């Protein structure tokens, strides 16, 4: 249950942060009518997401969709940052020069808010719709309807509900933000997300051959791509700090003694309401962080590595059948040298005819070893996560590449190539 809850909670929280900040800002600059276009974008995204889920389940287009959404999100986010800054300045000018603000929204603003929320909805609602498929992949659920299945569904739905609750409280928390504070926060969050989107789009173009990559380029990009999930925690951290600052920030209030009792009570009630929503937003977010933390501790308990199979030489080389690698899992092997050094390495199938052939060690963490989690390869010592597709590229905590040859039905590793790192394993 906890694993599925966290799966939907993460996507729900990210959607809540990226959209909730936008809606909060829109209300802050008194463009309530503009918010309707945002809600319309999120609603229409439900239909597109359902169609996309159907396509993803029947067509092999996941990578193409990821590239498209990353690039589209990159462009839209740049435009939205400029739009937020412009609207903030416009609101401040109108506030200073007129007793009554001009609250009409331009066609451009309406289109941009609609398109941006549509993009956010398609990206994250699609992933939320896919959580039952993740459950179906669990070995626990192969026996049909049972208590475990119901608990997993409950966890998935609960994660979505918590995300919606935080979005609501985040919007309400803007009552205590100033327009400048709201603008600065949304720009900071969107800039952080912009960096992540640029990494995803750039790597996607490399995978599809649109950008011709060199080993040096890949080695520099790999550490960022392998740590792409950490951007989520950066976003959450920034939001926590911002909400805490907002909560304890003192507001400039008029002298209550100069007001009549009704006006004074109204101001006190408004301040109390602002503080309530600021506290509630922090409380909901801290609950979500606690659930994420518990899952992280549970998921990162001591991992037993797949035992390494002792492999024998055949005419000065090691021969591994491709058929043994068809499951896409890590297959670990070992060879004891004449000096008594035990060298471990592993192979993993990445795509139809692409394989990762690497030492079970890296330049940073040494011979700690790696284990597999879904399509990710994880360093046992430092918990750095690597996408399976990056295995065989140097850099960061990626396993050290091992030279190899391929023929029709096998992968061949020369003894002399394996022994290149004998001193490394002898330490």
Say yes or no to pLDDT of 23 above 90.
yes
CATH number at residue 422: 2.102.10
- The reply to whether 161 falls in a domain is yes
Residue 129: φ, ψ to 5°: -65, -25
- The reply to whether 145 falls in a domain is yes
d(CA 222, CA 60): 24
d(CA 51, CA 55): 6
Q: Are residues 391 and 291 in the same domain?
A: no
d(CA 170, CA 192): 18
- The reply to whether 304 falls in a domain is no
What's residue 51's pLDDT? 87
Q: Are residues 34 and 118 in the same domain?
A: yes
360 within 8 A of 397, measured Cβ to Cβ: no
d(CA 84, CA 92): 12
d(CA 201, CA 67): 5
Q: Which domain holds residue 365?
A: 309-426
Last residue of a domain, one of 299, 326, 358: 299
CA 166, 169, 173, 175 torsion-angle sign: positive
User: What global pTM score does this model have?
Assistant: 0.69
**Least confident segment among 119-133, 254-268, 372-386:** 254-268
Q: Are residues 218 and 107 in the same domain?
A: yes
Last residue of a domain, one of 253, 272, 299: 299
Q: Which of 135, 92, 83, 140 is nearest to 112 (CA)?
A: 83
357 within 8 A of 402, measured Cβ to Cβ: yes
Looking at residues 208-214, what average pLDDT do you find?
Answer: 77
76 within 8 A of 194, measured Cβ to Cβ: no
Per DSSP, helices labelled H in 30-106 are 32-58, 62-97
Angle at alpha carbon of residue 34, lines to 28 and 37, rounded to 5°:
135
- The reply to whether 240 falls in a domain is yes
208 within 8 A of 64, measured Cβ to Cβ: yes
Place of tokens 């694993």: 3
Residue 113's pLDDT band (cuts 50, 70, 90): very high
Q: Are residues 41 and 99 in the same domain?
A: yes
Q: Are residues 215 and 352 in the same domain?
A: no
Last residue of a domain, one of 299, 326, 350: 299
Q: Are residues 96 and 235 in the same domain?
A: yes
Strand stretches in 277-398, DSSP E:
309-310, 317-321, 331-336, 342-351, 354-359, 370-373, 376-379, 385-387
Say yes or no to pLDDT of 352 above 60.
yes
Q: Is 259 helix (H, G, I), strand (E, B) or coil?
A: coil
Q: Are residues 292 and 402 in the same domain?
A: no
Q: Which region, left, alpha or beta, applies to residue 44 given φ > 0 means left and ψ of -120 to 50 means alpha?
A: alpha
Q: In the β-sheet with 317-321, what is the strand arrangement from edge to edge? A: 317-321, 410-414, 405-406
d(CA 346, CA 331): 5
What's residue 316's pLDDT? 87
What pLDDT, in 10s, does the model give residues 276-330? 888 898 999 999 899 888 877 776 666 677 788 898 888 889 999 988 888 888 8
What's residue 87's pLDDT? 92
DSSP-assigned letters across all residues of 52-70? HHHHHHHSS-HHHHHHHHH
Into how many domains does the chain fold? 2
Q: Are residues 331 and 250 in the same domain?
A: no
What pLDDT, in 10s, does the model give residues 73-96? 999 999 999 999 999 998 888 776
Q: Are residues 153 and 206 in the same domain?
A: yes
- The reply to whether 196 falls in a domain is yes
- The reply to whether 164 falls in a domain is yes
- The reply to whether 408 falls in a domain is yes
Q: Are residues 394 and 416 in the same domain?
A: yes
Place of tokens 């597709």: 389
- For residue 326 the two structure tokens come to 């068809």
Q: Are residues 376 and 412 in the same domain?
A: yes
Within 10 Å of residue 186's Cβ, how many Cβ atoms? 25
Within 10 Å of residue 167's Cβ, how many Cβ atoms? 24
Round the average pLDDT of the chain to a whole number and report it.
Answer: 84
Q: Are residues 364 and 340 in the same domain?
A: yes
- The reply to whether 112 falls in a domain is yes
Q: How many residues does the chain have?
A: 427
Burial of residue 181 (number of CB atoms within 10 Å: 0-12, 13-18, 19+): middle
What pLDDT, in 10s, does the model give residues 140-185? 444 455 566 677 778 888 889 999 999 999 999 888 888 999 999 9
């Amino acid at each position: 249950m906890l694993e599925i809850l966290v799966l939907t909670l993460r996507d729900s929280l990210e959607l809540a942060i990226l959209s909730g900040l936008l809606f909060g800002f829109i209300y802050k600059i008194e463009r309530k009518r503009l918010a309707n276009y945002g809600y319309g974008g999120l609603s229409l995204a439900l239909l597109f997401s359902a169609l996309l889920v159907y396509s993803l389940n029947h067509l092999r287009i996941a990578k193409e969709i990821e590239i498209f959404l990353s690039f589209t999100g990159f462009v839209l986010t740049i435009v939205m940052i400029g739009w937020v800054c412009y609207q903030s300045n416009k609101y401040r000018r109108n506030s200073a020069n007129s007793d009554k603000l001009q609250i009409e929204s331009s066609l451009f603003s309406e289109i941009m808010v609609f398109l941006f929320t549509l993009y956010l909805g398609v990206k994250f609602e699609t992933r939320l719709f896919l959580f039952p498929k993740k459950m179906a992949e669990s070995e626990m659920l192969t026996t049909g309807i049972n208590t475990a299945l119901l608990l997993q569904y409950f966890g998935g739905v609960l994660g979505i509900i918590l995300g919606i609750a935080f979005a609501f409280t985040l919007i309400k928390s803007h009552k205590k933000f100033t327009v400048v504070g709201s603008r600065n926060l949304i720009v900071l969050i969107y800039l952080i997300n912009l960096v992540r989107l640029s990494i995803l789009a750039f790597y996607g173009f490399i995978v599809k051959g649109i950008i011709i990559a060199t080993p040096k380029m890949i080695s520099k990009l790999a550490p960022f791509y392998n740590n792409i999930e950490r951007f989520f925690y950066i976003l959450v951290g920034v939001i926590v700090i911002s909400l805490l600052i907002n909560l304890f920030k003192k507001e400039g209030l008029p002298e209550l003694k100069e007001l009549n009792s009704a006006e004074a009570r109204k101001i006190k009630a408004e301040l109390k309401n602002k503080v309530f929503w600021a506290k509630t937003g922090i409380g909901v977010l801290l609950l979500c962080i606690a659930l994420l933390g518990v899952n992280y501790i549970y998921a990162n308990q001591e991992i037993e590595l797949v035992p390494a199979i002792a492999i024998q030489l055949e005419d000065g080389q090691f021969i591994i059948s491709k058929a043994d690698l068809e499951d896409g899992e890590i297959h670990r092997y070992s060879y004891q040298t004449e000096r008594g050094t035990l060298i471990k390495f592993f192979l993993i199938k990445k795509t139809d005819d692409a394989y990762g052939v690497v030492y079970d060690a890296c330049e940073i963490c040494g011979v700690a070893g790696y284990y597999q989690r879904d399509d990710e390869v994880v360093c046992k010592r430092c918990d750095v996560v690597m996408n399976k597709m990056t295995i065989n590229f140097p850099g960061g905590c990626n396993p050290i590449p091992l030279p190899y040859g391929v023929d029709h039905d096998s992968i061949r590793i020369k003894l002399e190539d394996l022994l290149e790192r004998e001193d490394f394993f002898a330490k």
